[in-house]
Amino acid sequence: MHVPINLASDPFRRDRPMVLAAGIATGLLAVILAALVLLIMTDRARLADTRAQVNKLNADLQNINAEQSRLDATLRQPNNAFVLQQSLLLNTLVERKSVSWTKVFADLEGVMPLNVRLIQVRLPQIDNQNQVLLDMVVGAQTPAPVIDLLKRLQASPRFGPATVHNSVPPTDNDPLYRYRVSVNYAQKL
């Protein structure tokens, strides 16, 4: 039987590799910390420029809003109310007259398949972003040509995606499938 006896007060340990590894890890962590501090400082400088630009734009927006409210207050005065209502009416009429029916029908002719009939087109509606919305009723002997029309409308640069609101199957008096379709029309106003 062998019994190890250590007579030294501190036994011999191999700590040198652990101390060396801890020193290398500490140095590596210090380099990473310095890189992160440098990135934070450059990001703060860049954000300061962005904040200055945002503050300038907010100040400009406040000035524009103040000017707009001042002009609105002037227009809302009782002696200017009649002129404002008249100008709104005239602007609405000018917007409606600015839609060229000839151009609308020429653009529809370019995308309309031969076996689809245009049955009805309602007055175009113009929203506050000056987008023209066409609401029309089309008819065909079968649904396939109407689907082709919807694909052509979506692929056309003048029209956007079309929405089919309802469909009516053929009857004894009307042999056509009828579809009510609305589509955005990109005519420059």
Break the chain into its structural domains and give their ranges: 13-75, 98-185
The arrangement of secondary structure in 98-185, i.e. its CATH architecture, is 2-Layer Sandwich (3.30)
What does residue 132 show for φ and ψ, rounded to 5 degrees?
Answer: -95, 130
d(CA 25, CA 12): 25
pTM summary value: 0.51
Q: What is the pLDDT of residue 189?
A: 46
**Residues for the chain: how many in total?**
189
d(CA 7, CA 24): 34
Per DSSP bridges, beta strands 132-140 and 177-185 are: antiparallel
Q: Which residues pair with 180 in a beta bridge?
A: 137, 166
List of residues 6+ apart from 145 with CB closer than 8 A: 113, 115, 116
Q: What is the pLDDT of residue 92?
A: 75
Q: Which residues of the chain have pLDDT under 50?
A: 189
d(CA 120, CA 137): 5
Q: What is the pLDDT of residue 39?
A: 96
